[in-house]
Amino acid sequence: MDGKILKIKRIMAEADAVILGAGAGLSTSAGFVYSGERFERYFGDFGRKYGFHDMYSGGFYPYETQEEFWAFFSRNIWVNRYMPIPNDTYERLYDLVKDKDYFVITTNVDHCFQRSGFDKKRLFYTQGDYGLLQSSNPHGASAHRTYENEEIMRKMILAQGFEIGGNNELIIPEGGKLSMRIPTELIPYCPDDGEPMTTNLRADERFVEDEGWHLAAERYMEFIRGHENGKVLFLELGVGMNTPGIIKFQFWKFVSQWPDAAYVCLNYGEAYAPDEIRDRSVCINDDIRETLMKLEAAE
C-alpha cells in the first residue's frame, strides 16, 4: 500500500492537470450511506409501510399519490443535499488538488464538491442536482429550465412534522409522529407550463439539461481539448458500473490514447484497470477517505 501511495503522490506532483471522475462510492465514503442507521432514522416509517430498506429503492417506488411521492423525496433531498456533509472526505480531496489545474466530472447529485470549496466553473454534474426541480413534461418555456427547490423542500419537511436546526439538521420531535404525506397545496407545479414538477435527476428522455448543464459540459470538453496528449492524471473515485460510459470507459480511452497520461482508481472493492493501461495505472481497493488521509501523510 505504501508503495502505491507514494506512486500516486509522484504522479500527481508531476501532472500538469488532474481530471477527477467521481461516482457514488465517493459520497458513500463521505458518509452518505443510503441504508442502515441513516435510513432508519429518517425513512423508517416509509420502510415499514412499503417494504424497502434503503433510500435508493425508495426513489423508484411507485407511490400512488403526489403527496406521498413528495413526502419521501423532500426528506431524501434534504438529507442528501441540504444537511451538513457527514465527514471531511470532500474537503480532504479538495486540499489534495486545489493547487493543481483540475476539473471534475461526476454522476453524483448531492452538490458536495461545490459545498466543499471546489470552483463551480470546474464542475460538471452530468446526472442532475438534488437542489433543482424541473417540469415533469418539459415543453415550451420550461423545456430547458430548472428551478431552485430549497424553500419548497423546507415547507414540505416542516409540514411532515420535522423541525430544522440551525445547520439544516432534521430534528424529529420527541414523541412526535411524522406524516408520510405533504399537504396537497404544497405539490409543486411548474410556473412556466403548469405541469406537476419533478426532480432534476436523469431517469429518462425528459431529463432537462439546462443552460448551466450545457455550459459545464462545454467547459469540460474545453479542458479535455486544452490538455490533449499532455501529462494528465485521470483520478477516478468511487465510480461503479451503473453508468461506466460517462466516466470510467472515457478515462480508460483517454489514458490509452495519451502516452503521458496516468490513471488512478480509488474504489472500495472495485478498483481495476484494463491490461492496455495497467503499466500507467494505480488501483487501490480501500475506503477513499482512508486513502486520502494516507496521501496527505505520505512524504
- Going from the N-terminus, what domains does the chain have, and what CATH number goes with each? 1-32+86-127+209-299 (3.40.50.1220)
Strand, helix or coil for residue 148: strand
Angle among Cα 133, 138, 140 to the nearest 5 degrees reads 125
Query: Considering the entire predicted model, what is its pTM?
Result: 0.95
Q: Report percent pLDDT > 70 for the chain.
A: 99
Q: What is the pLDDT of residue 177?
A: 87
Residues 37-47 pLDDT 10s: 999 999 999 99
pLDDT confidence of residue 176: 74
170-171 and 163-164 strand pairing? antiparallel
Closest by alpha carbon to 237, among 100, 81, 112, 129? 112
pLDDT of 144 > 90? The answer is yes
Which of 135-144, 168-177, 189-198, 240-249 has the lowest average pLDDT?
A: 168-177
Q: What's the pLDDT score for residue 1?
A: 61
Nearest to 190 by CA among 136, 148, 150, 152: 136
| pLDDT tens-digit series, residues 53-70 | 999 999 999 999 999 999
Identify the band that residue 269 occupies on the pLDDT scale cut at 50, 70 and 90: confident
pLDDT at 152: 98
User: φ, ψ for residue 278 (rounded to 5)?
Assistant: -60, -30
* C-beta of residue 80 within 8 angstroms of C-beta of residue 32: yes
Confidence of residue 36 (pLDDT cuts 50, 70, 90): very high
